[in-house]
Chain A
Amino acid sequence: MDKPIYIQTLSLVTPLGNSVDQHLDAFKNGVSGIKLVEKAGFQDTTIPLAIKSELTSDRYNTLLREALKKAQANLSTSGRTAVIVSSTKGNIDLLPGDTFAGTQPIIHEFFPKTEIFIISNACISGVIAINTAADYLLAGNYDQVIVIGIDAVSEFVSYGFQSLFALSNETCKPFDKSRNGTVLGEGCGIVLVSTQKPDGFAVLYKGGSSSNDANHISGPSRTGEGLVRSIEKTFKRSQVSVRDIDFISAHGTATIFNDEMESIAFGRTNLDRVPLNSMKGYFGHTLGAAGILETIMSIVSMEKSILFPNLGFKETGTSIPLNIIQRLESKELHTLLKTASGFGGGNASLILQKQP
């Protein structure tokens, strides 16, 4: 890579707290944001969700404003700035109107006159957004890009996942033998991607890519083909090899087919022995926000030299056994791989490294 690209966490707002520090405490203590919510499912069924219970209305805008406020306060760099938003649905409360229409004005309240890009590429949006930010910096268009991942829980998405029989009836157990579906969550996370070295802890972005399964619009590939191709391309671009990877932040939705697909892909890329977690047991599946939220907590892992357990995992439940992190562990983490997979057959990955 021609010039170093830094990534720093700016803010994190989820059911587990309103700051990165609060999330560190929650993760250390194995606290999950998931609970059973009455009447949240179709025909008033009870479903598990990771929702911010203090929010009663205007969930999307409130999450966005809260996270932007913190990000603005924590931003130590300046220069030519762009914003990239990663979201699957935008503000669904605006239906039948345009769900993405209200986002830009809110961002401009905090970062006036910045160019804003919105990426809506299902569950891999967050990882693609960080990759796109780095691309823009390498091309020299901007000095820094503020990347926002956000999605709010809604009946729309809950009913949709219920109609696909993709939801768990209890909690989220990524990669576990008894997993039976995902749990939806909500949140907003913001990272800074910059060519300037920011104050405080920051890691280096080494490279990333995406790939399509070319297989099915809503079902994961049986062979992990797209994820394998994305991981291989990311390794090549990052000039990092498999043995350099200390930790994988996987997607792990806890649906039977997704987690099985990931295990096959990690097996095929010789990554099955690398310590790995999915954070869906803490956050639920936050869709367009997931890649950002999970990257933020991965950066925290590197900063604090801690491997966080894969909440909800007890027993191997994939045909290729993975090295799932089961207890809080201290470990120096130099290089990590983040992956994501989603509807539309998308897969994406990126590699982060601690500064020498």
Chain B
Amino acid sequence: MKILAHSYVCPKGTFLNGKLVYDTAEEENPLKSAYQQLGVEYPKFYKMDVLSKMAFIGTEILLPFFPKDADLENDLQLIFANSSASLNTDNLFVESYEQLKTPSPSLFVYTLPNIVTGELCIRHKWYGENCFFVEETFNPLHFSEWSQIALNKGNNSCLCAWVEAKTNGEQECFLFLLTNSEDGGNSIERELSTLIKQYRNE
């Protein structure tokens, strides 16, 4: 197994394979700014929750690195995780019925974390397998196990993400694209934990 490419989206900026591509540190609305810098026309972006917006941007910039000869429509598995599920939107939805006295259907549909993978599948016409896990922290071992299992089942590649929007305002989306490598059996755990530390400046 090997990492083909990775991206990281947070309020400070959008990074591709470790390099800053969109600097949004000074922006009032960083994700909107990153979307505009991306230059893609996809008006649905504005309706998305924070999780989907981050994953949308992070995935768009990864597209050139997807395997060219694979049947991605069927054989790309999406494996996403975070620690607080859809908590941010959950609280906004509660506000809509408690304070504003009208339960908002447009917020309610985002009160499930796997809507993120749904949005990406719609955007890219991916019909493959999806799974969303809720974990305390980013766990490189688990991602490595899940991806290896997915590849062993016949999937060509895995798009994985740790996509988190905490109620304290912390937001990050670490995406990485995995496939089988010819030399096989490489552990990617250490690589993943180094990468996320670098992105987080830890």
Contacts and interface: CB of A to CB of B under 8 A. Distances in A.
A339 interface: no
A99 B133 contact: no
Nearest to A158: B103
A214 B126 contact: yes
B171 interface: no
Contacts of A110: none
A164 B109 contact: yes
B103 A100 contact: no
If over half of A's interface residues share one DSSP class (helix, strand or loop), that class is named, otherwise mixed; here it is: mixed
Interface in B62-78: 74, 78
If over half of B's interface residues share one DSSP class (helix, strand or loop), that class is named, otherwise mixed; here it is: mixed
Interface in B93-127: 93-94, 97, 102-105, 108-109, 111-115, 117-119, 121-122, 124-127
A159 interface: yes
B60 interface: no
B93 A96 contact: no
A88 interface: yes
A120 B109 contact: no
A231 to B, nearest CB: 13
B103 A95 contact: no
Interface string A80-123: 00000000111000011011100000000000000001111110
B85 A90 contact: yes
Contact of A343 (B83, B115, B131, B152): B115
A223 B132 CA distance: 25
B117 A212 contact: yes
A185 interface: no
A164 B105 contact: yes
Interface stretch (A10-18, A53-61, A131-139, A259-267): A131-139
A79 interface: no
B129 A209 contact: yes
Contact of B128 (A128, A211, A225): A211
Most buried by A among B85, B109, B129, B149: B129
Nearest to A228: B127
A141 interface: yes
B112 A343 contact: yes
B145 interface: yes
Contacts, number: 140
A105 to B, nearest CB: 12
B135 interface: yes
B56 to A, nearest CB: 13
B121 A156 contact: no
Interface in A237-264: 237
B195 interface: no
B125 A217 contact: no
B122 A214 contact: yes
B19 interface: no
Contacts of B91: 95-96
B25 interface: no
A278 B121 CA distance: 27
Contacts of A209: 129
Contacts of B132: 119-121
B174 to A, nearest CB: 19
A156 B115 contact: no
B108 A160 contact: yes
B90 interface: yes
A100 B118 contact: no
Given A96-B91, A212-B128, A226-B127, A345 B103 contact: no
B57 to A, nearest CB: 18
B131 A132 contact: yes
B134 interface: yes
A132 B147 CA distance: 12
A162 B91 CA distance: 18
B170 to A, nearest CB: 13
**Shortest beta-carbon contacts, A-B, top 9:** A344-B118, A160-B108, A212-B121, A163-B103, A159-B103, A118-B134, A163-B105, A344-B114, A214-B121
12 contacts: A96-B87, A100-B134, A118-B135, A121-B130, A139-B145, A141-B145, A156-B93, A164-B109, A210-B131, A211-B127, A214-B124, A343-B118
Given A159-B103, A225-B127, 9 more contacts: A90-B85, A99-B87, A100-B134, A117-B135, A120-B134, A122-B114, A136-B145, A344-B112, A346-B118
